[in-house]
Chain A
Amino acid sequence: MTGNLMPPALIFIAGALLIPFLRGKPQGGYMLLIPVVSLLVLMNAPTGRIWTLDFWGYTLIMGRIDKLSLVFGYVFTIMAFLGILFALKVKDNLQHVSAVVYAGATLGVVFAGDFLTLYLFWEIMAVSSTFLILASRTDAARNAGFRYILVHLIGGLFLLAGIVLYIQETGTTAFDYIGLTGTVSWLIFIGIALNAAAIPLHAWLPDAYPMGTPTSTVFLSAFTTKSAVYMLIRTFPGTELLIWIGAFMVFVPIFYAVLENDIRRVLAYSLLNQIGFMLVGTGIGSQLALNGAVAHAFCHILYKGLLFMAAGSVLQMTGKIKCTEIGGLYKTMPLTCLFCMVGAASISAFPLFSGFVSKSMVVTATVEEHLVLVYLVLQFASAGVFHHAGIKVPFFTFFGHDSGIRAKDPSWNMVLAMGLAAFACIFIGVFPQPLYNLLPFTVEYIPYTGAHVVGQLQLLMFGALAFALLILSGYYPPEIKSINLDVDWTYRKLGTAAYRFLDSGLNTVNRRTEQGLMTVVKSGSAFFRQITVHLILFFSVNLWLVLGYRDKHLALKKQQLYNDVVQGTLPVGIGAAAAVSFVVLIYVLT
């Protein structure tokens, strides 16, 4: 290994192994140290390919350091720090270890320079994240975790098949731009797109993420999908299909987000919507668009983490997270409320908040490419995002009807984590240049022009006006205790139905076959037993006739012998005698 220290992925994963041996404050301090060390390593890492290792004739590269991987590496490390800080007081080593391993595996994916390393960390990511869902330790979480890992293993198999064929085709494990050209690239594309929750491979996300613990969902929201976005930017930039998938993703989930009752499910659907923006940018593939996708991923990880932290705080302090059960919490949770609104303003791309400086790059890229329809869809969705994530989430949680719950703000570490994330959101929004300097391409882009600010504010504020008028008029769809069907219906209901069909269908065939076979065997065995009985009776009766038995006596003997043979209660001696006499008979006859 070259370079300094060791790869961030190994710092995290090896570091996680020590966590169970520590307790209390030392444990907390130690966990916080892991991302700090990792960040220092990244800041000092030279560009190029470092941390290489020869393995069975292949070169494993754990450090492909360039601007693209670094910017993702930074934000993942920062988010890991915030997530660990937020979960600092959780007394559950399972969560701590899996979260740190999960973050490490994500960094492994980001810095992997070859397919073997990538696949290894890809699967570690899937397994460790599953434990974060299971950590809730409820039946619903267990079932959701089970579906989650199954879906991801299938996605992993697609990726693996693609990788194996790719290596065979090109003779190298290293990868860069692949492009959607043939079967091999499609297999890889499907594997990655599933992790990016690209529609229609998205249903695992709103199914599983809201099942995590108050703290584990913060990690989940950050890593899997955005590392997949990174992979798409790396391997499939400029793929037109991604524009359309992205536009669809920007559009459809907002309807679900409006309808959902569970705040974390609302956030999960808005997560899909935000990934849509990144995929549109990736699909366009111009330098501005790719910069936009990267910048949006960066900002999104922070504000979405912040929103999930606020939702987690509410869940932690009240035990409830459904719109129908909470409301009016601003009275006793003012800090959480404030931070949640910062996150909401950021995701809505309000000027001076982080979403504004990143989302607008993608939108401007669609203008440059003259994609009118996509532009209109993105603008529609921007208003829609403000509507459900920007207004609905804070409104129904902290305002709306007073639920009577008087929960306090959470512990200092959770407030601090939210505060830091909120600070980052505002800082990036006000001073975007440091973020722009990190982006893979040098692009002159100025987000704050008069026309842009006014246009965006009009879009958002008049969207808010619609919300206000609809709420006041009572036309707004009421919050109802319910769930909404999504694509996961196919494997949760259709799959179960198919299973039942096969169960009743194939098992009937099985049962019938068994019955038929048993009838044949039974009647066959009965037939042979009857023959034996009659043969024995025939010989015995003749013998008894010769010996002089008659009438009643003979009938009695016959009955006794018949019973003995049928019930198998013949004295052993008789069987032996019969066998011996049979041998004697054969001897005499030959």
Chain B
Amino acid sequence: MKKELTLFDKPKNVKILLICFYCALVVLVMAEFFIHPHPAFYFEQIKGFSAVYGFFSCVLLIFLAKLLRMVVMKKEDYYDR
């Protein structure tokens, strides 16, 4: 049998991956100071607007989804009953 990949099961690798990820975030925010901006709307002039918006979009998404789950979630056999 072919050998399995276990790349992402080693905690060390996951840690490296996360560190790379956090570095990328920092680089992205820094990068905004070196590019020629062309903001779509006035609020986009704020540095890091996209970053903050992206972050809170996802937090809000999860928060609202959890609320929605209370209303719409049913057991798998709901329609068969």
Given contacts A458-B29, A458-B51, A482-B76, contact A468 B18 (CB under 8 A): yes
Residue of B nearest to A139 (CB): B80
| Of the residues A331, A375, A384, A406, contact of B58 by C-beta under 8 Å | A384
Count of A interface residues, CB-CB < 8 Å? 53
Bound-state Cα–Cα, A492 to B57, Å: 33
Contacts of A481 in B (CB 8 A): 76
Contacts of A367 in B (CB 8 A): 40-41
Bound-state Cα–Cα, A375 to B41, Å: 10
Residue of B nearest to A258 (CB): B65
Given contacts A255-B64, A455-B50, A458-B29, contact A383 B58 (CB under 8 A): yes
Interface positions, chain A 441-458, Cβ under 8 Å from B, are 449-451, 454-458
Given contacts A457-B28, A458-B29, contact A484 B73 (CB under 8 A): yes
- Output the least CB separation between B81 and chain A (Å): 10
Evaluate contact between B68 and A470: CB separation under 8 angstroms: no
Interface positions, chain B 44-80, Cβ under 8 Å from A, are 44, 48, 50-62, 64-66, 68-69, 71-76, 78-79
- Output the least CB separation between B20 and chain A (Å): 11
Evaluate contact between A458 and B59: CB separation under 8 angstroms: no
Interface check B31, CB cutoff 8 A: yes
Evaluate contact between B51 and A462: CB separation under 8 angstroms: yes
Evaluate contact between A259 and B37: CB separation under 8 angstroms: no
Contacts of B76 in A (CB 8 A): 481-483
Evaluate contact between B29 and A483: CB separation under 8 angstroms: no
Evaluate contact between B62 and A258: CB separation under 8 angstroms: yes
Of A151-159, A233-241, A472-480, A515-523, the one touching chain B: A472-480
| Of the residues A258, A334, A375, contact of B5 by C-beta under 8 Å | A334
| Interface flags, B9-50, vs A, CB<8A=1, else 0 | 100000000100100110011011001111111001000101
By secondary structure, the A interface counts as helix
Count of B interface residues, CB-CB < 8 Å? 50
Bound-state Cα–Cα, A180 to B60, Å: 35
- Output the least CB separation between B25 and chain A (Å): 6
| Of the residues B21, B51, B56, B57, contact of A468 by C-beta under 8 Å | B21
Interface check A387, CB cutoff 8 A: yes
Given contacts A330-B5, A458-B54, contact A476 B72 (CB under 8 A): no
Evaluate contact between A379 and B57: CB separation under 8 angstroms: yes
| Interface flags, A422-464, vs B, CB<8A=1, else 0 | 0000000000000000000000000001110011111111111
Contacts of A330 in B (CB 8 A): 5, 7-8
Bound-state Cα–Cα, A466 to B4, Å: 30
- Output the least CB separation between B22 and chain A (Å): 8
Evaluate contact between A454 and B28: CB separation under 8 angstroms: yes
Contacts of B24 in A (CB 8 A): 461
Evaluate contact between A460 and B73: CB separation under 8 angstroms: no
Given contacts A255-B65, A258-B62, A454-B32, contact A485 B72 (CB under 8 A): yes
Contacts of B56 in A (CB 8 A): 466
Evaluate contact between B58 and A476: CB separation under 8 angstroms: no
| Interface flags, A482-523, vs B, CB<8A=1, else 0 | 111110000011000000000000000000000000000000
Evaluate contact between B59 and A331: CB separation under 8 angstroms: no
- Output the least CB separation between B63 and chain A (Å): 9
Evaluate contact between A477 and B25: CB separation under 8 angstroms: no
Bound-state Cα–Cα, A372 to B54, Å: 16
Evaluate contact between B35 and A454: CB separation under 8 angstroms: yes
Evaluate contact between B68 and A460: CB separation under 8 angstroms: no
Evaluate contact between A458 and B41: CB separation under 8 angstroms: no
Evaluate contact between B28 and A461: CB separation under 8 angstroms: yes
Evaluate contact between B29 and A451: CB separation under 8 angstroms: no
Evaluate contact between B55 and A463: CB separation under 8 angstroms: yes
| Of the residues B39, B50, B79, contact of A458 by C-beta under 8 Å | B50
Given contacts A477-B62, A482-B74, A485-B74, contact A462 B40 (CB under 8 A): no
Interface check A119, CB cutoff 8 A: no
Residue of B nearest to A333 (CB): B5
- Output the least CB separation between A305 and chain B (Å): 26
Contacts of B44 in A (CB 8 A): 455
Evaluate contact between A492 and B79: CB separation under 8 angstroms: yes
The interface centre, meaning the residue of B29, B44, B54 with most chain A CB atoms within 10 A of its CB, is: B54
Evaluate contact between A384 and B57: CB separation under 8 angstroms: yes
Bound-state Cα–Cα, A330 to B8, Å: 9
Evaluate contact between A470 and B53: CB separation under 8 angstroms: no
Bound-state Cα–Cα, A457 to B73, Å: 33
Evaluate contact between A258 and B41: CB separation under 8 angstroms: no
Interface check A380, CB cutoff 8 A: yes
| Interface flags, A306-340, vs B, CB<8A=1, else 0 | 00000000000000000000000011101000000
Bound-state Cα–Cα, A465 to B55, Å: 7
Evaluate contact between A467 and B58: CB separation under 8 angstroms: yes
Residue of A nearest to B79 (CB): A492
Contacts of A482 in B (CB 8 A): 73-76
Contacts of A485 in B (CB 8 A): 71-74, 78
- 18 cross-chain CB contacts under 8 A: A254-B61, A331-B4, A332-B2, A364-B40, A367-B41, A380-B53, A402-B9, A451-B37, A462-B51, A463-B54, A467-B58, A470-B62, A482-B76, A483-B76, A483-B78, A485-B71, A485-B73, A492-B79
Add 6 more A-B contacts to A383-B61, A462-B50 (CB < 8 A).
A255-B64, A379-B57, A380-B53, A383-B54, A483-B76, A483-B79
The 4 tightest CB contacts between A and B, nearest first, are A450-B35, A466-B58, A459-B54, A458-B50
